[in-house]
């Protein structure tokens, strides 16, 4: 029956493009948009396009910034510009920023090396990172994910930096706060044990 | 830090309006839109506004239809116009339509009676339904949900139709296909037992 309402079909196809929208919710979201006040929907589209237009990636740390302003992180005097935390994507940047305990700056790689998906070092912002470190930095924290791809990326960056005089560190691996040892996987417990620290 | 990128904040607030988008996915969806080709994003907004502009609710069955066309269900010669299946919302219409086993037409109520949420019979399309039935219909299937609100709505419609000569039926209640009796709630098993049918 839906095939007889082409506008509706188009709307569904459109919403299918949106990631993280469960297919069983597509109809409900479509319904939401159709029931919206036309003015609000126009406003919705306007803000969406404006955000796209106003934001760009910082050419230094590759984080999002307003087009007509300097990057608030790279230009911040409150932040230690000599410590760079290297993260895969912008979501991980947010995760670290939410802890509220980091005072340095960031470098967003744009992903992790994954030859199977055709992502090599040249697809990521590794070269600008190396150049940035060479301009003089005290510490590089490799905060890539604890996945094979993330660890390979960290290893690649570390190898590229071996001739640069800089401290390279990575996140501590171990038992997450609030979890029971009993339910942890073997490798995590092993890492927590072998990388134990003074109490 | 995000407060220093107002365009981004606006984008997030915008996406928060979209229902069924988990808050933990908001950033990912925002990222998706920001990484989209500007032309594709414009196209996205265009299709969204077009769908909103082209679709309206049929004045007979209150289902969605193209503005410049007659409702494909209400005008279909293949459908039995004398059997009306009454559903709460458009999602339930789709659920029944997907079974492929229904040949009649529909009536979308727009919800169920719920005094606590301020939804009375006058907020729903019950009056047009009664008028529609009075114009001559063979059967009304009350396919509201098996919730207190849905059952109250069905009872209200049935009471309104008691002076109209029409067959009123409702969906069979019982054990869902593929499920074990053991895991069914008491009430469902009781209904399945008391409404048993010849084998």
pLDDT of B129: 95
Min Cα–Cα distance to chain A from B150, Å: 19
Sequence-distant (≥ 6) Cβ neighbours of residue A6 within 8 angstroms: B66
pLDDT digits (tens, 9 = 90+) for B132-189: 999 989 999 999 998 899 999 999 999 999 999 999 998 888 888 888 888 888 888 8
> How big is chain A, counted in residues?
199
Contact B49/A51, CB-based, under 8 Å? no
Sequence-distant (≥ 6) Cβ neighbours of residue A158 within 8 angstroms: A142, A168
Q: Given the structure tokens 């044990």, which residue do they identify?
A: A193
Contact B31/A97, CB-based, under 8 Å? no
Sequence-distant (≥ 6) Cβ neighbours of residue B12 within 8 angstroms: B2, B26, B27, B30
pLDDT of B3: 67
CB contacts of A2 in chain B (<8 Å) are 94
Sequence-distant (≥ 6) Cβ neighbours of residue B26 within 8 angstroms: B12, B15, B16
B61's tokens: 């069955």
Q: Given the structure tokens 């000599």, which residue do they identify?
A: A82
Q: What distance in Å separates the CA atoms of residue A87 and residue A108, rounded to the nearest whole number?
A: 5
pLDDT of B81: 93
Cβ atoms within 10 Å, residue B110: 16
Q: What distance in Å separates the CA atoms of residue A190 and residue A173, rounded to the nearest whole number?
A: 10
Min Cα–Cα distance to chain B from A27, Å: 7
Contact A50/B7, CB-based, under 8 Å? yes
What are the angstrom distances between the C-alpha of B182 and each of B175, B185, B188, B189? 11, 8, 11, 9
> How big is chain B, counted in residues?
199
pLDDT digits (tens, 9 = 90+) for A103-145: 999 999 999 999 999 999 999 999 999 999 999 899 999 999 9
Min Cα–Cα distance to chain B from A21, Å: 6
> Which residue of A28, A72, A89 is in closest CB contact with B19?
A28
pLDDT of A13: 87
C-alpha closest to that of B143 among B169, B167, B115: B169
pLDDT of A142: 93
Q: Is the pLDDT of residue B195 over 90?
A: no
Q: Is the pLDDT of residue A95 over 90?
A: no
Is the complex ipTM higher than 0.90? Answer: no
pLDDT digits (tens, 9 = 90+) for B31-86: 888 888 889 999 999 998 998 999 999 999 999 988 888 888 899 899 999 999 99
Instruction: Please give the helix or strand (H or E) that residue B81 lies within, else none.
Output: strand B80-87
A68's tokens: 């007509």
Own/partner pairs for A118-121, CB < 8 Å, 24+ apart? A121/A156
The residue among A13, A19, A20 with the most chain B CBs within 10 A of its CB, best to mutate, is A20
Contact B1/A90, CB-based, under 8 Å? no
Instruction: Please give the helix or strand (H or E) that residue B170 lies within, else none.
Output: strand B167-170
Number of A–B residue contacts, CB under 8 Å:
138
Sequence-distant (≥ 6) Cβ neighbours of residue B61 within 8 angstroms: B71, B73, B74, B105, B106, B107, B108
- This prediction has a pTM of 0.71
Cβ atoms within 10 Å, residue B51: 24
The 3-state secondary structure of chain B reads CHHHCHHHHHHHHHHHCCCCCCHHHHHHHHHHHHHCCHHHHHHHHHHHHHHHHHEEECCCCCCEEECCCCCCCCCCCCCEEEEEEEECCHHHHHHHHHHCCCCEEEEECCCCCEHHHCECHHHCCHHHHHHHHHCCCCEEEECCCCCHHHHHHHHHHHHHCCCCCCEEEECCCCCCCCCCHHHCCHHHHHHHHHCCCCC
pLDDT of B1: 60
* Mean of pLDDT over chain A: 89
Q: Is the pLDDT of residue A174 over 90?
A: no
Q: What distance in Å separates the CA atoms of residue A144 and residue A151, rounded to the nearest whole number?
A: 7
**Local structure of residue A54 (DSSP, 8 states):** H
pLDDT of A175: 84
pLDDT of A3: 67
Q: Give me the percent of chain B exceeding a pLDDT of 70.
A: 98
**Local structure of residue A114 (DSSP, 8 states):** B
Q: In chain A, which ranges are continuous DSSP H helix? A: 6-16, 26-35, 38-54, 90-99, 126-134, 148-160, 186-194
């Amino acid at each position: 029956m839906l095939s007889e309402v082409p506008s509706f079909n188009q709307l569904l196809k459109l919403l299918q493009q949106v990631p993280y929208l469960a297919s069983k919710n597509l109809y409900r979201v479509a319904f939401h948009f159709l029931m919206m006040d036309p003015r609000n929907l126009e406003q919705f589209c306007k803000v969406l396009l404006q955000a796209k237009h106003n934001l760009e990636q910082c050419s230094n740390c590759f984080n999002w910034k307003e087009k007509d302003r300097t990057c608030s992180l790279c230009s911040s005097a409150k932040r230690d510009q000599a410590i760079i935390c290297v993260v895969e994507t912008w979501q991980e940047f947010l995760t670290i920023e939410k802890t509220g305990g980091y005072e340095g700056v960031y470098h967003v790689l744009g992903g992790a090396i994954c030859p199977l998906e055709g992502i090599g070092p040249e697809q990521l912002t590794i070269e600008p990172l190396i150049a940035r470190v060479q301009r003089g930095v005290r510490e590089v924290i490799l905060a890539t994910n604890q996945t094979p791809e993330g660890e390979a990326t960290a290893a690649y960056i570390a190898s590229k930096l071996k001739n640069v005089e800089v401290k390279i560190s990575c996140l501590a691996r171990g038992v997450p706060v609030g979890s029971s040892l009993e339910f942890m996987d073997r490798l995590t417990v092993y890492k927590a044990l072998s990388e134990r620290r003074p109490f």
